Amino acid sequence: MLRPGRGAEDWEQMENPSLDLLMRRSFPELAAALRDRSAKILDRFRSLAKEALPHADELTLAELLDDLPKTLEDLAVTIVSTDGAMQKNFLVDSRRHGVCRFHQSYNLSELLVEYGILRSVIVNEVTGALGRALSLEESIGLHAGLDAATRRSVETFVNFQQDEIKAGSEAFSKYLSFLSHDLRGNLNAILLVVEVLRRELAGVPQVQESLSDLDSLRRAIFMTVGTMDRFLQAERFRRGKIEVKIAPVNVGQLVNDAANHFQRLAEEKNLALHVQASEVPEIPSDRELIVLVLQNLLSNAIKYTPKGGVRMVAEPLADGGCRVGVSDDGPGIADDKIREVFQPFVRGAAHGQAGTGLGLHIALQAVDLLGAKLWAENNPTGGATFYFELPPKPPNS
């Protein structure tokens, strides 16, 4: 609670209620002891910091030691003064340590280790100088000052980290934009040329053996474009750039369309692709997000099935929704990994298959926006089934 005569603007009083004691009480003995043991505090801190942080080089440690005498003096002034401006200046100056350590590539835990060492040394030396234990108010006042300094330093360190992460994220987004608008366009142009060449050379007996090379090139381009698409989709979800557009959707038709889209890929692996999607009701949902889920589930099933086939079954539910199951004849999923496969960059038994581990994570994010469910189960006879269950109505409808 603010004391009479002080406003809410008074150097962030409400953010640091424990410092109120330092504004009401002066601790001259404590300040004198701190000044008296300043040199010993520096020596002990140097020794303990080297032991606790052996990788910290002499230059970074020396920079802190150069600044530490002023920090100790500022703390002593804060302890002995009842002028709120002194406490406010101390909080502002405490930020320097966080800035320094950020630019020296420390991590947050190392910064906290330093402050922990400093606190221990100060309490020990001040107690020794006084020749007695600290009183309750002295202890509260000293630790309040140290807590405030630690917090301000950590806040500044974290703010710099957040700025760095934001800058890195923006740079990554620009890179993905380049993939989307430039590189992807060039790859699609190459793919078009490959398709034209294959059709023109299909009837030329002399080059039949070379057609397999064109097929390999085509598959490689498809794989690369698909990988870029998944990164772009993941980035859109991460940035919250997905707008859900609700309209009547024929899920059975989408299941058949997805199967037709991947039919050639399945044939190239000599896999049978079976679809059963009759009597599925039309439901209000987002067509594009459903397609995204189906494509990622079907692509994943084909990728990890070395032989046999893939099955897609869509069926109505009693509540008016529908469920789609995508089953494969692959290696299945280890029991302890069955929940983790939906996490980004997590992959199952890849068996040499290329991939990023983003497809199922993207599908899960799309499912969340639809208010739907997505889970996986191992099949009794081998392989796994991924279930995608849509509600009869979208969320918030």
Over range 188-193, report the average pLDDT: 82
Flag whether pLDDT at 7 surpasses 90.
Answer: no
Banded model confidence at residue 183, pLDDT cuts 50, 70, 90:
confident
Question: 319 in a domain, yes or no?
Answer: yes
State how many domains the chain has: 3
On whether both 309 and 187 belong to a single domain, the answer is no
On whether both 32 and 144 belong to a single domain, the answer is yes
Banded model confidence at residue 313, pLDDT cuts 50, 70, 90:
very high
Task: Check residue 194 and give its pLDDT.
Answer: 82
Over range 33-42, report the average pLDDT: 91
Flag whether pLDDT at 275 surpasses 60.
Answer: yes
Domain boundary, last residue among 238, 267, 284: 238
Question: 6 in a domain, yes or no?
Answer: no
Task: Check residue 179 and give its pLDDT.
Answer: 67
Question: 4 in a domain, yes or no?
Answer: no
Question: 52 in a domain, yes or no?
Answer: yes
Please provide the distance, in angstroms rounded to a whole number, between the alpha carbons at the two ends of the chain: 45
On whether both 377 and 281 belong to a single domain, the answer is yes
Task: Check residue 63 and give its pLDDT.
Answer: 64
Question: 347 in a domain, yes or no?
Answer: yes
Domain boundary, last residue among 146, 167, 188: 167
On whether both 17 and 163 belong to a single domain, the answer is yes
Give residue-wise pLDDT tens across range 17-37. 556 666 667 888 998 999 999
Question: 3 in a domain, yes or no?
Answer: no
List of residues 6+ apart from 127 with CB closer than 8 A: 133, 134
Over range 36-58, report the average pLDDT: 82
Task: Check residue 56 and give its pLDDT.
Answer: 65
On whether both 200 and 322 belong to a single domain, the answer is no
- Residue 350 is part of which domain span? 247-390
Over range 92-104, report the average pLDDT: 71
List of residues 6+ apart from 58 with CB closer than 8 A: none
Distance CA 313, CA 175 (A): 38
Task: Check residue 352 and give its pLDDT.
Answer: 46
Task: From residue 49, give the alpha-carbon distance in Å to each of 25, 61, 62, 110, 209.
Answer: 32, 8, 11, 10, 69
* CATH number, position 370: 3.30.565.10
On whether both 149 and 186 belong to a single domain, the answer is no
Flag whether pLDDT at 346 surpasses 70.
Answer: no
User: How buried is 217 (Cβ within 10 angstroms: 0-12 exposed, 13-18 middle, 19+ buried)?
Assistant: middle
- SS3 labels along the chain: CCCCCCCCCCCCHHHCHHHHHHHHCCCHHHHHHHHHCHHHHHHHHHHHHHHHCCCCCHHHHHHHHHHHHHHHHHHHHHHHCCCHHHHHHHHHHCHHHHHHHHHCCCCHHHHHHHHHHHHHHHHHHHHHHHCCCCCHHHHHHHHHHHHHHHHHHHHHHHHHHHHHHHHHHHHHHHHHHHHHHHHHHHHHHHHHHHHHHHHHHCCCHHHHHHHHHHHHHHHHHHHHHHHHHHHHHHHHHHCCCCCCCCEEEEHHHHHHHHHHHHHHHHHHCCCEEEEECCCCCEEEECHHHHHHHHHHHHHHHHHCCCCCEEEEEEEECCCCCEEEEEEECCCCCCHHHCCHHHCCCCCCCCCCCCCCCCHHHHHHHHHHHHCCEEEEEECCCCCEEEEEEECCCCCCC
Task: Check residue 190 and give its pLDDT.
Answer: 83
On whether both 233 and 251 belong to a single domain, the answer is no
Over range 351-355, report the average pLDDT: 49
On whether both 156 and 181 belong to a single domain, the answer is no
Over range 86-98, report the average pLDDT: 65
Question: 318 in a domain, yes or no?
Answer: yes
Over range 291-319, report the average pLDDT: 91
Task: Check residue 9 and give its pLDDT.
Answer: 36
Q: Which of 146-155, 193-202, 347-356, 367-376 has the highest mean pLDDT?
A: 367-376
On whether both 227 and 315 belong to a single domain, the answer is no
Task: Check residue 65 and give its pLDDT.
Answer: 66
Higher pLDDT pick, 8 / 190: 190
Task: Check residue 17 and give its pLDDT.
Answer: 54
Task: Check residue 273 and give its pLDDT.
Answer: 93
Task: Check residue 391 and give its pLDDT.
Answer: 92
- Report the chain's mean pLDDT, rounded to a whole number: 80
User: 97, 105, 103, 91: which is closest to 154 by C-alpha?
Assistant: 97
Other Cβ atoms closer than 10 A to 163: 11
On whether both 194 and 272 belong to a single domain, the answer is no
On whether both 49 and 153 belong to a single domain, the answer is yes
Give residue-wise pLDDT tens across range 232-249. 777 677 777 778 889 999
Over range 281-301, report the average pLDDT: 90
Over range 363-375, report the average pLDDT: 90
% of the chain exceeding 70 in pLDDT: 80
On whether both 385 and 280 belong to a single domain, the answer is yes
Banded model confidence at residue 155, pLDDT cuts 50, 70, 90:
confident
Flag whether pLDDT at 395 surpasses 50.
Answer: yes
Flag whether pLDDT at 385 surpasses 80.
Answer: yes
Task: Check residue 10 and give its pLDDT.
Answer: 45
* CATH number, position 105: 1.10.490.10
Question: 138 in a domain, yes or no?
Answer: yes
